[in-house]
Amino acid sequence: MRFVKLLGLVVGLSLSTYTQAGTFFGAGASFPKPVYLAWGKAYRAQSDGVLIYTAVGSGKGLAEILAARTDFGASDMPFEIAELNKHGLMQFPTVIGGVVPAVNIKGISEDQLHLDSMALAAIYMGKITRWNDPALVALNPGLNLPNDAISVIHREDKSGATFNLSNYLSKVSPTWKAVLGEGFTVAWKVGMGVAGSEAMAQKIATTNGAIGYLDYADLHRHQLTDVMLKNHEGVFVSASVSSFSAAASAAKWNVANGFYEILTDEPGKESWPITSATFVLVEHTPGVTENLYESLKFFDWAYRNGDQIAIDLNYVPLPDSVADQVRAAWKTQIRSHAGAPVWK
């Protein structure tokens, strides 16, 4: 039954693929899709394991694992330990990246436009509506900003990118926190909604005056124009593997709190302000033990062999010490219905 339900998520695959030994399934966040697929390709070349990963958004990733329709879910929003325990889940991080505003403004190229948190919040609340608004001119002396309307684009589905953007803006803007708050979705006051990161990238690319947000790997792949953001220390920084690494350097990964860690608005002169980790969700007591074991074998392989693949795709790998904590957590937290550890 689980395989039949998953057919609705995956396109262009034969039924024989689903019954192949060593096949395992993941669904959820679009942010890690490029690295999961690249890891999956390399892993398959070295083993009999076949990953089928469907990027349906973080919210649906949670829904799929809660309904036991996938072997692992993926979310860019971490869950607190009480929520995990309530649903019989554990989570662990896989890679780190960042959510990046992207624009399509005539005459403006990569890293030319400077924004701070107040300007970004004001744009997404509809308080700044033109690119030559005095607040933006003040942040960009000498830059010829056009008198074009700002076309605000946001995600309309349950998105980890929306969570990290709204979490950041809630930290830095009391008005944003009071009016919109944070979550997979928020009550947007302005703009047009799109479903999925691919639709976000396409809409930005084809809309004059657009601003949107997406993970850096997708932005880079679609060759969109990113901006520089003023960080916690008041320094304008570019999105990059190094600025994500700087923001993540003080992370305190802890199995006791379910590896819960949010990396927005971190201190440090080189830190990207909307840095985020992405997480895998698995059941403490899986219905199909063999398939979850295959999933864990895959992530164990990725922790040991996938760093350069991740870096080449503009992600930050986790330190070996964190990977060791994750493996130890698998041994103690994931059990068969008979009580035997799934990972040994």
Residues 303 and 166 in one domain: no
Residues 228 and 109 in one domain: yes
Residues 229 and 107 in one domain: yes
Say whether pLDDT at 5 is over 60. Answer: no
Say whether pLDDT at 2 is over 70. Answer: no
Say whether pLDDT at 201 is over 90. Answer: yes
Structure tokens at 6: 């998953």
Structure tokens at 181: 């708050």
Quote the percentage of the chain above a pLDDT of 70: 94
Residues 168 and 132 in one domain: yes
320 assigned to some structural domain: yes
User: How far apart, in whole angstroms, are the C-alpha atoms of residue 335 and residue 116?
Assistant: 47
The three-class DSSP label of residue 249 is coil
35 assigned to some structural domain: yes
Residues 103 and 241 in one domain: yes
DSSP state of 128: -
Residues 165 and 68 in one domain: no
Residues 237 and 114 in one domain: yes
Model pLDDT for residues 158-180, shown as the tens digit of each residue: 999 999 999 999 999 999 999 99
pLDDT recorded at residue 11: 34
pLDDT recorded at residue 92: 98
73 assigned to some structural domain: yes
pLDDT recorded at residue 258: 97
User: How far apart, in whole angstroms, are the C-alpha atoms of residue 121 and residue 88?
Assistant: 36
Nearest one of 163, 157, 7 to 70, comparing CA atoms: 7
pLDDT recorded at residue 184: 95
208 assigned to some structural domain: yes
pTM: predicted TM-score of the whole model, two decimal places = 0.90
pLDDT recorded at residue 20: 67
Structure tokens at 164: 């990290």
Model pLDDT for residues 119-138, shown as the tens digit of each residue: 999 999 999 999 999 999 99
- Read out DSSP for 6-67? HTTT--S--HHHHHSTTEEEEEE-STTHHHHHHHHHHHHHHSS-EEEEEE--HHHHHHHHHT
pLDDT recorded at residue 250: 86
Model pLDDT for residues 205-247, shown as the tens digit of each residue: 999 999 999 999 999 999 999 999 999 999 999 999 999 999 9
Model pLDDT for residues 305-329, shown as the tens digit of each residue: 999 999 999 999 999 999 999 999 9
Q: Which residue segment(s) compose the domain that 329 sits in?
A: 2-96+255-262+275-333
pLDDT recorded at residue 138: 98
pLDDT recorded at residue 113: 98
CATH number of residue 59's parent domain: 3.40.190.10
Question: Do residues 150 and 130 lie in contact, with contact meaning Cβ atoms separated by under 8 Å?
Answer: yes
206 assigned to some structural domain: yes
Residues 90 and 121 in one domain: no
62 assigned to some structural domain: yes
* Mean pLDDT of the chain, nearest integer: 93
Residues 113 and 172 in one domain: yes
Model pLDDT for residues 247-276, shown as the tens digit of each residue: 999 899 999 999 999 999 999 999 999 999
Model pLDDT for residues 70-92, shown as the tens digit of each residue: 999 999 999 999 999 999 999 99
pLDDT range class, residue 50, cuts 50, 70, 90 = very high
Residues 78 and 15 in one domain: yes
The three-class DSSP label of residue 117 is helix
- Read out DSSP for 158-187? --HHHHHHHHHHHHH-HHHHHHT--SSS--
Say whether pLDDT at 7 is over 60. Answer: no
Place of tokens 């924004």: 115
- Read out DSSP for 199-241? HHHHHHHHSTTEEEEEEHHHHHHTT-EE-EEE-TTS-EE--SH
Residues 244 and 298 in one domain: no
Residues 110 and 237 in one domain: yes
Q: What is the mean pLDDT of residues 137-158?
A: 97
b/e map 270-297, b = 16+ CB within 10 Å? bbbbbbbbbbbbbbeebeebebbbbbbb
Model pLDDT for residues 10-48, shown as the tens digit of each residue: 433 333 344 466 899 999 999 999 999 999 999 999 998
pLDDT recorded at residue 288: 86
161 assigned to some structural domain: yes
pLDDT recorded at residue 77: 95
Question: Do residues 29 and 63 lie in contact, with contact meaning Cβ atoms separated by under 8 Å?
Answer: no
Please classify residue 301 by burial: count the beta carbons closer than 10 Å to its beta carbon, then call 0-12 exposed, 13-18 middle and 19+ buried.
middle
pLDDT range class, residue 1, cuts 50, 70, 90 = very low
Number of structural domains in the chain: 2
64 assigned to some structural domain: yes
Please classify residue 226 by burial: count the beta carbons closer than 10 Å to its beta carbon, then call 0-12 exposed, 13-18 middle and 19+ buried.
buried
